[in-house]
Amino acid sequence: MTLVYAGVVSHAPGITGRAHMVENVAERERLYEALHQQRRDIVDSGAEALVVVAAEHFANFFMNNMPAYCIGLGEYHEGPIEDPDWLKIERVRIPGAPQLARQLAEQVMQSVDVAYAEEWKCDHGIMVPLNFLTPDYDLPVIPVNINCQGPPLTPLHRAWAFGEALRRACDSVDDKIALLGTGGISHWPATPDSGKINEAWDRAFLQQLMQQDKSALLAYSDAETYAQAGQGGFEIRTYIAAAAAARGAGELQFYTADLPIFAVGCTVARFALA
């Protein structure tokens, strides 16, 4: 068993880009402390590579050719694609793990028709978590994407199956691997509703996620999610995949809806591995 850590984290660009505009500074510091704890947990796990199951925003994949699932096989990945001054993250080259990523892709393919890419550009969806969790970019990263942007989207039960396939793949290799799902939950990015957060919806979803309540998690319809959690809510697929990979109960380490300038409820959580 070589999956050594599994967790989830929010990735909105405001977490770094608008950090200086926060009114509730104490709450921001609590978020940062939770992120630092997540970094320590990953380090303490002995992880030799970090699989980031993200929901990119048309950085690599477009409506002319949109894979439901993709694994990055590159020797390195570059990011952020956004203006570094806007995101407040320097442009860097992140080490990949091409051999390991290829092994994982081959294993995942046994049950899920995952795409792969030897080139990968990282947007805030990966860069914001890495900024806190591997700030020296010294941990090889395997980027993984679930299409949460361009409908038709992969069904939630397939996101769960993808997480299970990732777990089997991680457990088939000797390397110690940390896996992180990163996404919303409720948010309305790049719309007139940007900044809105449905805290009640977030907390209900997180409770189901922490309890590994599979039937409840897979019962969300895209129409309901869109109505209650915005198009950003489609990113629950990354959290669901992480839960499926972990198999164990979750521990919600931090959630707040009290940093509205970040335009998302901010989550940090980890799962027991079972």
Considering beta carbons, is residue 125 or 140 the nearer one to Fe ion? 125
Considering beta carbons, is residue 55 or 141 the nearer one to Fe ion? 55
Stretch 123-152 residues interacting with Fe ion (CB under 5 A) = 125
Encode 129-154 in three state secondary structure: HHHHHCCCCCCCEEEEEECCCCCCCC
Binding mask 89-128 for Fe ion (x = CB under 5 A): ------------------------------------x---
From residue 69, alpha-carbon distances to 111, 139, 187, 238 in Å are: 12, 23, 22, 11
- CA 234/CA 184 separation, integer angstroms: 8
The per-residue b/e assignment along 196-223, b for 16 or more CB within 10 angstroms, e otherwise, is bbbeebbeebbebbbebeeeebbebeee
Residue 148 beta carbon to Fe ion: minimum distance, rounded to whole angstroms: 7
Considering beta carbons, is residue 232 or 250 the nearer one to Fe ion? 232
Number of residues that bind Fe ion (CB under 5 A): 2
Q: Which two tokens stand for residue 55?
A: 């929901």
> 260 Cβ partners below 8 Å, 6+ apart?
195, 197
Residue 272 beta carbon to Fe ion: minimum distance, rounded to whole angstroms: 26
Of 82, 95, 163, 97, residue with least CA distance to 128: 82
Of 82, 56, 227, 265, residue with least CA distance to 148: 56
Binding mask 24-63 for Fe ion (x = CB under 5 A): -------------------------------x--------
Binding mask 157-196 for Fe ion (x = CB under 5 A): ----------------------------------------
Angle at 189 between CA 188 and CA 191, to 5 degrees: 75
Considering beta carbons, is residue 42 or 127 the nearer one to Fe ion? 127
Considering beta carbons, is residue 38 or 45 the nearer one to Fe ion? 38
Considering beta carbons, is residue 96 or 232 the nearer one to Fe ion? 232
Residue 182 beta carbon to Fe ion: minimum distance, rounded to whole angstroms: 8
Residue 223 beta carbon to Fe ion: minimum distance, rounded to whole angstroms: 20
- Which residues sit at the interface with Fe ion, rule CB under 5 A? 55, 125
